[in-house]
Chain A
Amino acid sequence: MSLHEPDLAVHVEDLTVAYHAKPVLWDVDLDVPPGVMAAIVGPNGAGKSTLIKAVLGLIRPTAGHVSLFGRPYAEQRHRVGYVPQRTSVDWDFPTTVADVVEMGLYGRLGWLRRPGRAERARALAALEQVGLSDYRDRQIAQLSGGQQQRTFLARALVQDADVYFLDEPMAGVDATSERAIVDVLRELRDQGKTVVVVHHDLQTVRTTFDWMMFLNVRAIAQGPVEEVYTAGNLRATYGGQVALLEGSGVPGATD
């Protein structure tokens, strides 16, 4: 099979997702080059999480296609790490922190194979990286919000991926955890990996990320943060509802 846009870590073209005939994403294009730390920014209900889920094949789009390093997600699964919103699971589940982190390896372990010593070692190394070594045998219900988030990050780290997708990793997280998370993400970026983060905090976009996308159902703007983070784009994204199908009037939007 020929490669489609192999030089892009993430390539999304004409993506439309609808729930019950209401578009959540409309005709979205997204190109993320490898080795950047990218933020997807937009108001509530802008479809940020939906975009990530559609890229990961968790939601079937109505139209459009996605490729990662030139191939569809199903073929690139082993190169992708995913951190869902921490509130998407019930943390009162009978398991330990290290067990949750090991789940990142379940995909590549294959059927009938149990995680063993090698898997445990990788899980512990990832917990060390996020600063949760002391918590490995804790029951997960005992973790604070920030620790839960770092546990999820560790689970993605053992996936040893080339591109990471994180859904609101800094939401409801204490300062220590936020710093730990940002440090780990920067490390990944410095290793040449691509990090795509759904982000809600406009204050920290410029200090934390080097690439960004403004999203509000439609793709408003995307590119290097210093070029894209403008008053015009902010207004286009947050100020009032951006009318569907009248894309020509949206300032700063890329085609």
Chain B
Amino acid sequence: MGFIQYYDGEVSIKGLNCKTDQVKIQRFLGYLPGEINFFDDMRGNELIGLIAKMQGLKSLDYSKTLLQYFELNPNMKIKRMSKGMKQKLAIVIAFMGDPDIFIMDEPSSGLDPLMQQKLVNLILEHKKRGKTFFLSSHSFEEVEKTCDRILMIREGRIINDSHVETLKKEQLRKYEVVFAKREDAERFAKQNGGLINKDCFVTVEVLDSFSSLLAQLKDFEIIDISKKNLNLEEIFMKYYGD
């Protein structure tokens, strides 16, 4: 985007240098900032008109469609809009030029669940049309629903780069075992690094195959075994929690 100077390496989008070709890049880029700071004195429709003209858009038809889709009335001063309304306005502005690439920072921030789903649907629809999304988010549900590839960043460095499904397959191997006796649960947890949740419930992570877990359990009296579904949030915590 060219908003921040970098002093090492190179950043390019579609082969264009972000430092020197910023104007060319902006022609096919839709940007949704994390902090929505509009010109408060303007009305929503005035802002849309201004940015559309600055983007060189010939028609506002698509912006009108988006406004209807998000049920947003833009004919009021931006300073009187709620956080959610401002967010919707920013989304409309990012999408109205129908760009090829989107950079979005916390796109569903401030939206109610219904609008969050609508946004997810809109992103998926654009993805089907071949658009690319770079999405920075702390909403794991949003990431799970919309992203193909996830980069986890910690202290400025990438600590994980995986496809969503791969990440889930790699990590979703936790089981909850219910033992008949408390002492069995404690012994098993001690031997296999499991975690006793309550009474005789032990959560255990399986690193190799499920049959190895069964082999380890054969000497215990077991009441129940269930697969514990991890979501991305828990996967994330594995990388960040220390």
A complexed with B: no
Chain B residues within 8 Å of A, Cβ to Cβ: none
Chain A residues within 8 Å of B, Cβ to Cβ: none
